[in-house]
Amino acid sequence: MTKKLKMADIAEALGGQLGGDGSFEVERVAHPADIRGPKDLVLATDKALLPLLEGSIVEAVIVSEGAQVPSSIKAYVEVGRSRVALSKLTKLFEEPVAVPKGIHPTVIIEEGAYVAPDVTIGAFSYIGAGAEIGVSTIIHPQVYVGPKAVIGAGSLIYAGVRIGARVKIGARAIIHFNASIGADGFSFVTPQMSSVETAKETGSVGAASNLELLRIASLGAVEIGEDVEIGANTSIDRGTIISTRIGNGTKIDNQVQIGHNVVVGENCMLCGRVGIAGSAVVGNRVVLGGAVGVADHVRIGDDSVAMGMSGIAGNIAPRSLVGGVPAKPRAKMIEDMRKLNRVTQLTEKLEVLTKRIEALEGEG
Amino acid sequence: MTKKLKMADIAEALGGQLGGDGSFEVERVAHPADIRGPKDLVLATDKALLPLLEGSIVEAVIVSEGAQVPSSIKAYVEVGRSRVALSKLTKLFEEPVAVPKGIHPTVIIEEGAYVAPDVTIGAFSYIGAGAEIGVSTIIHPQVYVGPKAVIGAGSLIYAGVRIGARVKIGARAIIHFNASIGADGFSFVTPQMSSVETAKETGSVGAASNLELLRIASLGAVEIGEDVEIGANTSIDRGTIISTRIGNGTKIDNQVQIGHNVVVGENCMLCGRVGIAGSAVVGNRVVLGGAVGVADHVRIGDDSVAMGMSGIAGNIAPRSLVGGVPAKPRAKMIEDMRKLNRVTQLTEKLEVLTKRIEALEGEG
Amino acid sequence: MTKKLKMADIAEALGGQLGGDGSFEVERVAHPADIRGPKDLVLATDKALLPLLEGSIVEAVIVSEGAQVPSSIKAYVEVGRSRVALSKLTKLFEEPVAVPKGIHPTVIIEEGAYVAPDVTIGAFSYIGAGAEIGVSTIIHPQVYVGPKAVIGAGSLIYAGVRIGARVKIGARAIIHFNASIGADGFSFVTPQMSSVETAKETGSVGAASNLELLRIASLGAVEIGEDVEIGANTSIDRGTIISTRIGNGTKIDNQVQIGHNVVVGENCMLCGRVGIAGSAVVGNRVVLGGAVGVADHVRIGDDSVAMGMSGIAGNIAPRSLVGGVPAKPRAKMIEDMRKLNRVTQLTEKLEVLTKRIEALEGEG
């Protein structure tokens, strides 16, 4: 199971500069706080760490460009942007989670489902009628794929994932434990004006109104582009009439909630616990920090960044940087904090002025 | 699989006014942005859309009362409140997610469980000892129903749902992917005063105190009324002594967390990512916006509405409209924002006054 | 199934003072609002409740020290700290959720997995290659245990839990429905400066930058200490190089998100919907209230308490009590609220001063 990689090959894969013995073999990437043996390749792009390795058991390191490498190191690779190197290095050493090849005998595949060649499906997984699984896709145990759902080629679906009927997922998806793609949207209407409608119109809640909640069924599905990653316990609901959509290359963390009809663009990053309410439209390359909330029907422009825990209640222009609840431009946030701090100063100034007025009045 | 519906029948189901040819058949509800063919029934209650349909392939539409329907339309239905029409229309066209009728041969049903007639249970589902499943209920694959749990008639339980021991769920429930009903409550006590108790009493944390955390077991269950809908990846914990309770007709979105002993009334709407801490009591017809938090033991009066991302730390009177953290009446929120904005004005006024005083002092 | 316990034995278990007939048997712990029969042991540590029980069917109660017990009560136990008594009492009456003993015939155990004696594994569970399950552990149906994962002795794993490859869990863990331990971390890097990096450096988002997102794979695992409890639908991601770690005795509620590389100390309490971003370090005995967010790389000192819905953006000293977004010491929070309230007063004072100045100017 252990991988053995030559330092020369690692240097090439990382696009870095090899130093020392390129034929030196390493077996494991190691954090400086967890060194176990001389076959460890230690990440030491932080220059402060290097002197500490002098004379240690460490013989192979990844360092920043121009670093002073201790003489006890036998081989090293100099890299530029360290997290880019980390991306390439972890990819080299990554081992896929083992699951026996092929279709496990316990798997249920309903009528009319199409499973492409070279697909693996783990024990107790269920493939609904008319579903399609693309070539080389790996489905771990205990997964549910609903009727007519489509999963693209080269995808990786972990245990407990639920993919609803008619959901379409593009190639090379990675979907983590217990994610839910394609539950019904949360959409109800009251026969007369609801309390929320009244509140929006009048600023207060009227007489008891939500006596009946009529369900709006979800006829749409979810359409997910290529190269999308979806985190554990995340939920993406189906659309009402047209589908909820996630663009190519978008990455979604754990515990994220994406409501019905939402459209998320390409290459977005939605961090843990983000929530996007129904019919919101998120542009391309948008980054939403942890636990950010987006109100329904809101539009967020391309390349915008929302700081963690902010709540986006209105439309956001492209390339905005926003924070707070309700979210406002970062500059305005800082100005508001300053305003608050100015109150103490104002109080003091006012007292001084009062005394000066008293003095003037005494004179009069 | 395709449904064919006559426009006259649709008009009747919607309680709307038929125009044109009532015998015209449609096969699909279509959003104006996703028209595929002449059998589409296009939603065009937004009057601005109608002129765009003139001369298009669209032949059937749903319109608002009094709308000017293009002459190329063969049949239409005029409706009042458009989302009410949408509720009825989506119900007409909804198709249940296919799952083979009856009890799948892989299903495990433990001793003493009672499964009523006309129940469907999908592959790899587990029904615990002494559980009861009501008539016509549909349980999708990979569901867990704990010992002595009861699920009412006509319910729909999607894949991966976990229903704990002794949990009772009323008729016509809809429970989405991977929801958890009846995990143990999160309830611990320290032998002496805990850091949180000290903080509440003194306003600061004392010496290290939480050296031991004693678990309080959950002897209660969860009792859920009729016509309740529960979203994907939502959790509802069991009570300590008496059961956590959810009232009839309440709708719960995805990723919601409901703690032990909580009581939620009837016809509430709890939006995505809401969290309700232990022993809180939520009245009837309460609407909690996305990601709202409710502190433990708090009581929320009937018909109240909490804006998204607010944090309810104290009791709320009936028919309140609250927002912010800690939540306060909307009017107070707006007043607070105004106060902050007034600081700039105050600073300017103070400068003017200072100059006037200086002038007076100069005169003296 | 019904437990029968003598009041003398209960008094001993609770370390309380027995009053009345120690041989009196009770069968159920009852909340005063849900009394069903004379074999109920009613919790009446709230002294106001006691007079109400006079002459009722209740014959056995738990009361606070020195309480006046009605004469109709046949047996009672006086206790000190009531929630500590509740912990012991609920433990006495708790009944484990039934699951047939032994390894269910449907269970798949891959090659090289080790299952200790006296282990129970429920239907449709999957144990990966080389995994180890400790003695007396109970695994409910439909659980996934990844290759080489280790679960300590005496643990209790509920239905739908996913434990990823190489994850290590200490003895006596309790893990609730649909929790995910060991999904990949959410870690990406852009070839050039990302929008978030630009925003941090310059205070605004620059030109479109996140055109490519490079994945950083997760080579680490998750290591969980002993006596840890993990709530339903909670997610704990694996580390990049070294493992994400949770200390002994820590209790984690439902819907919690713990990112890659995070280190959580011992005896912490992480309440529902908490989110901890990558590489944050949480000390020992820290309490994070509901929905608290912790930014990446932040360090939180031992014994600190964060109020519900606060967002911790910077390091926190030991024994801090913080709240708000961004989180600040509670005293500062209160001061900030006062500042805002002072604005009205300042406005009024300024008006008075203006009039006095006008008067002086009139005199001049």
Of A197-201, B313-317, C89-93, least confident by mean pLDDT is: A197-201
- Other beta carbons less than 10 A from residue C62's beta carbon: 24
Segment A140-165 shows an average pLDDT of 98
pLDDT band at A215 (very low <50, low <70, confident <90, very high): very high
Q: List the chains bordering chain C where 3 or more Cβ pairs fall under 8 Å.
A: A, B
Contacting residues of C for B363, CB less than 8 Å apart:
364
Segment C69-78 shows an average pLDDT of 95
Per-range mean pLDDT, top range of B66-75, B329-338, C249-258? C249-258
Interface ipTM > 0.85: yes
Full DSSP string of B111-140: TT-EE-TT-EE-TT-EE-TT-EE-TT-EE-
Last residue of a domain, one of A78, A93, A108: A93
Which whole-number Å values give the CA distances from A47 to A65, A67, A70, C175, in the listed order?
10, 7, 11, 41
Contacting residues of B for C321, CB less than 8 Å apart:
199, 203-205
AA identity, residue B37: G
pLDDT band at C152 (very low <50, low <70, confident <90, very high): very high
Q: What is the distance in angstroms between the Cα of A157 and the nearest Cα belonging to chain B?
A: 15
Residues B186 and B261: their CA atoms lie apart, in Å, by 11
pLDDT, position A54 = 86
Is residue C340 in some structural domain? yes
Q: Which of C33, C232, C331 is facing B242, going by the closest CB pair?
A: C33
Is residue A41 in some structural domain? yes
Contacting residues of C for A267, CB less than 8 Å apart:
210-213
AA identity, residue C275: G
Percent of chain B with pLDDT over 90: 86
B313–C290 C-beta distance less than 8 A = no
A259–B255 C-beta distance less than 8 A = no
pLDDT at C63 over 80: yes
- Other beta carbons less than 10 A from residue C17's beta carbon: 14
Average pLDDT, chain C: 95
Is residue C33 in some structural domain? yes
**Residue C156 parent element (H or E):** strand C156-157
C240–A255 C-beta distance less than 8 A = no
- The catalytically annotated residue of A104, A140, A176, A260 is A260
A219–B305 C-beta distance less than 8 A = no
Q: What is the distance in angstroms between the Cα of C100 and the nearest Cα belonging to chain A?
A: 20
- Spell out the alpha helix ranges (H) of chain B: 7-14, 50-53, 82-93, 195-202, 330-363
Full DSSP string of A99-156: --SSB-TT-EE-TT-EE-TT-EE-TT-EE-TT-EE-TT-EE-TT-EE-TT-EE-TT-E
Average pLDDT, chain A: 95
Contacting residues of A for C160, CB less than 8 Å apart:
160, 178
pLDDT at B359 over 80: yes
Q: C346 vs B148, which has greater pLDDT?
A: B148
Contacting residues of B for A216, CB less than 8 Å apart:
83, 86-87, 90
pLDDT at B363 over 80: no
Q: Which two tokens stand for residue B263?
A: 């009581």
Residues in chain C: 364
pLDDT band at C66 (very low <50, low <70, confident <90, very high): very high
pLDDT band at A2 (very low <50, low <70, confident <90, very high): confident
Q: Is C332 helix (H, G, I), strand (E, B) or coil?
A: helix
pLDDT at B1 over 60: no
Q: Which of C144, C208, C210 is facing A141, going by the closest CB pair?
A: C144
Q: What is the distance in angstroms between the Cα of A342 and the nearest Cα belonging to chain C?
A: 9
Contacting residues of C for B186, CB less than 8 Å apart:
231, 251, 253-254, 271-272
Residues A200 and A296: their CA atoms lie apart, in Å, by 14
Distance of CA B330 to the CA centre of its chain: 22
- pLDDT tens digits for A225-258? 999 999 999 999 999 999 999 999 999 999 999 9
Last residue of a domain, one of A52, A77, A93: A93
Please name the residues in contact with B245: beta carbons below 8 A apart, sequence gap of 6 or more.
B222, B223, B224, B225, B262, B263, B264
Of A265-279, B26-40, B146-160, least confident by mean pLDDT is: B26-40
Last residue of a domain, one of C93, C119, C153: C93
B344–A346 C-beta distance less than 8 A = no
pLDDT, position A324 = 95
B272–A164 C-beta distance less than 8 A = no
Is residue A263 in some structural domain? no
Q: Are A79 and A85 in contact (CB under 8 A)?
A: yes
pLDDT at C219 over 60: yes
B165–C97 C-beta distance less than 8 A = yes
Contacting residues of C for B184, CB less than 8 Å apart:
174, 176
Segment C10-23 shows an average pLDDT of 97
AA identity, residue C78: E
Residues in chain A: 364
Q: Which of A124, A165, A340 is facing B97, going by the closest CB pair?
A: A165
Residues C247 and C6: their CA atoms lie apart, in Å, by 38
pLDDT, position C364 = 59
pLDDT, position B364 = 59
**Residue B150 parent element (H or E):** strand B150-151
Q: Which residue of C has its CA nearest to A347?
A: C346
pLDDT band at C198 (very low <50, low <70, confident <90, very high): very high
* Cα–Cα–Cα angle for C43, C46, C51, rounded to 5 degrees: 90
B30–A191 C-beta distance less than 8 A = no
Q: List the chains bordering chain B where 3 or more Cβ pairs fall under 8 Å.
A: A, C
pLDDT at C25 over 60: yes
Q: Which residue of C has its CA nearest to A88?
A: C216
pLDDT, position B50 = 87
B277–C90 C-beta distance less than 8 A = no
- In chain B, what is the straight-line distance between the N-terminal and C-terminal CA atoms, in Å? 95
Which whole-number Å values give the CA distances from A94 to A88, A89, B146, C184, C215, in the listed order?
10, 9, 38, 11, 12
pLDDT, position B42 = 96
Q: What is the distance in angstroms between the Cα of C134 and the nearest Cα belonging to chain A?
A: 21
Please name the residues in contact with A169: beta carbons below 8 A apart, sequence gap of 6 or more.
A149, A150, A151, A152, A155, A163, A175, A181, A224, A228
pLDDT band at A209 (very low <50, low <70, confident <90, very high): confident
* Cα–Cα–Cα angle for C190, C195, C196, rounded to 5 degrees: 95
pLDDT, position B340 = 87
Q: Which two tokens stand for residue A70?
A: 């201790």
Of B342-351, C2-11, C95-104, least confident by mean pLDDT is: B342-351
Helices C7-14 + C82-93 axis angle, to 10: 130
Is residue A262 in some structural domain? no
Q: Which residue of C has its CA nearest to A228?
A: C213
Q: Are A226 and B226 in contact (CB under 8 A)?
A: no
Helices A7-14 + A82-93 axis angle, to 10: 130
Q: Which two tokens stand for residue A255?
A: 């515990």
- The catalytically annotated residue of C104, C140, C260, C297 is C260
CATH code at position B82:
3.40.1390.10
Residues C68 and C65: their CA atoms lie apart, in Å, by 9
C142–A31 C-beta distance less than 8 A = no
B165–C142 C-beta distance less than 8 A = no
Segment B87-102 shows an average pLDDT of 96
Q: Which of C194, C213, C353 is facing A357, going by the closest CB pair?
A: C353
Residues A56 and C198: their CA atoms lie apart, in Å, by 38
Q: Which of C146, C206, C211 is facing A97, going by the closest CB pair?
A: C146
Q: Are B261 and B284 in contact (CB under 8 A)?
A: no
Is residue C110 in some structural domain? no
Contacting residues of B for A195, CB less than 8 Å apart:
285, 287, 303, 305
Cβ neighbourhood burial of A336 (10 Å; 0-12, 13-18, 19+): middle
Residues A200 and A295: their CA atoms lie apart, in Å, by 14
- In chain A, what is the straight-line distance between the N-terminal and C-terminal CA atoms, in Å? 96
Distance of CA B358 to the CA centre of its chain: 62
Of A87-91, A208-212, B189-193, B275-279, least confident by mean pLDDT is: A208-212
Q: Which of B189, B191, B205 is facing C319, going by the closest CB pair?
A: B205
Q: What is the DSSP letter of C211?
A: S
Residues B153 and B155: their CA atoms lie apart, in Å, by 6
User: Considering only CA atoms, which of A344, A343, A357 is closest in space to residue B345?
Assistant: A343
User: Considering only CA atoms, which of C106, A79, C270 is closest in space to residue B104?
Assistant: C106
What global pTM score does this model have? Answer: 0.97
Is residue B347 in some structural domain? yes
Residues B66 and B43: their CA atoms lie apart, in Å, by 15
Q: Which residue of C has its CA nearest to A252?
A: C186
Q: Are A257 and A235 in contact (CB under 8 A)?
A: yes
- Other beta carbons less than 10 A from residue C82's beta carbon: 18
Please name the residues in contact with A26: beta carbons below 8 A apart, sequence gap of 6 or more.
A4, A5, A7, A10, A39, A40, A41, A60
Segment B322-333 shows an average pLDDT of 95
Cβ neighbourhood burial of B273 (10 Å; 0-12, 13-18, 19+): buried
Q: Are A225 and A174 in contact (CB under 8 A)?
A: no
User: Considering only CA atoms, which of C244, C288, C254, C283 is closest in space to residue C269?
Assistant: C288
Q: What is the distance in angstroms between the Cα of B171 and the nearest Cα belonging to chain C?
A: 23
Residues B241 and C89: their CA atoms lie apart, in Å, by 11
B255–C253 C-beta distance less than 8 A = no
Please name the residues in contact with C23: beta carbons below 8 A apart, sequence gap of 6 or more.
C6, C7, C8
Over the Cα atoms of chain C, what is R_g?
28
Residues B28 and B92: their CA atoms lie apart, in Å, by 10
Segment A71-87 shows an average pLDDT of 95
Residues B80 and B88: their CA atoms lie apart, in Å, by 12
Please tell me the total count of domains within chain B: 2
Contacting residues of A for B91, CB less than 8 Å apart:
215, 217
Q: Which of A84, A93, A229 is facing C191, going by the closest CB pair?
A: A84
Complete edge-to-edge strand list for the sheet that includes strand B257-258: B108-109, B126-127, B144-145, B162-163, B180-183, B235-237, B257-258, B275-276, B293-294, B311-312
Residues A204 and A280: their CA atoms lie apart, in Å, by 25
Please name the residues in contact with A187: beta carbons below 8 A apart, sequence gap of 6 or more.
A215, A216, A218, A240, A260, A278
Is residue C357 in some structural domain? yes
Q: Which residues of B are catalytic?
A: 260
Percent of chain C with pLDDT over 70: 99
pLDDT band at A364 (very low <50, low <70, confident <90, very high): low
AA identity, residue B133: I
B346–C346 C-beta distance less than 8 A = yes
Domain extent at residue C21: 5-93
